[in-house]
Chains A and B, each alone.
Chain A
Amino acid sequence: DVKVTQSSRYLVKRTGEKVFLECVQDMDHENMFWYRQDPGLGLRLIYFSYDVKMKEKGDIPEGYSVSREKKERFSLILESASTNQTSMYLCATRTETFATNEKLFFGSGTQLSVL
């Protein structure tokens, strides 16, 4: 089974702090994603990466950056955390661009609170 591990289940940070959210996958998947989940809004794509050192902006990249130095690890960075970034963050992986049998594999999420 694919395992997608997010380093923290809960995280509390202060406004202005630099925050790192880590995601590690064990299945050699090419594609990795960061989503943000908010009640009533569903999941929104922040950034995705289709290869090491390759990244593309999703729908809501403002205030975030990402890093993918190794294939198995994809980091989401909040350069200066703000209260409106309090949310559940979900990492996901996929083997390659959509094909008939492809699907996303999700981590269990990091609930970030910015005070």
Chain B
Amino acid sequence: AQSVTQPDIHITVSEGASLELRCNYSYGATPYLFWYVQSPGQGLQLLLKYFSGDTLVQGIKGFEAEFKRSQSSFNLRKPSVHWSDAAEYFCAVGARYGNKLVFGAGTILRVKS
């Protein structure tokens, strides 16, 4: 069965510091991987996605993620965090053709000044 694990429920970083949010997945076929962000009171917004090709993908708001097949990971990174990045982040995996995404439990990011 497909699953997504986000090991960190909460992460606190200082403004200007670097960030890495972890995501591990279990999937029987070629995974299609996504990171979504949810700001307080908002719906989810797509940050970036990986379908194929270059394993380092760039997204919006200065985020990037690296797909590592050998580690079944798709970690999200940002070199310098801004206070406005405080939100909940969800990793998700789906099939190339399909109607279901499986989401992780989410990681809440707090940014301290």
- Residues of A that sit less than 8 Å from B by CB: 4, 31, 35, 40-45, 48, 50, 56, 58-59, 90, 92, 97-98, 100, 103-104, 106-109
Contact = CB atoms under 8 A, between A and B. Distances in A.
Contacts, number: 58
B43 A109 contact: yes
Interface string B39-74: 001111110010100000000000000000000000
B25 interface: no
Given A40-B105, A42-B103, A106 B45 contact: yes
Nearest to B105: A42
- How extensive is the interface on chain B, given as a class? 20 to 34
Contacts of A109: 42-43
B30 to A, nearest CB: 12
Contacts of A43: 44, 90, 92, 101, 103
A103 B99 contact: no
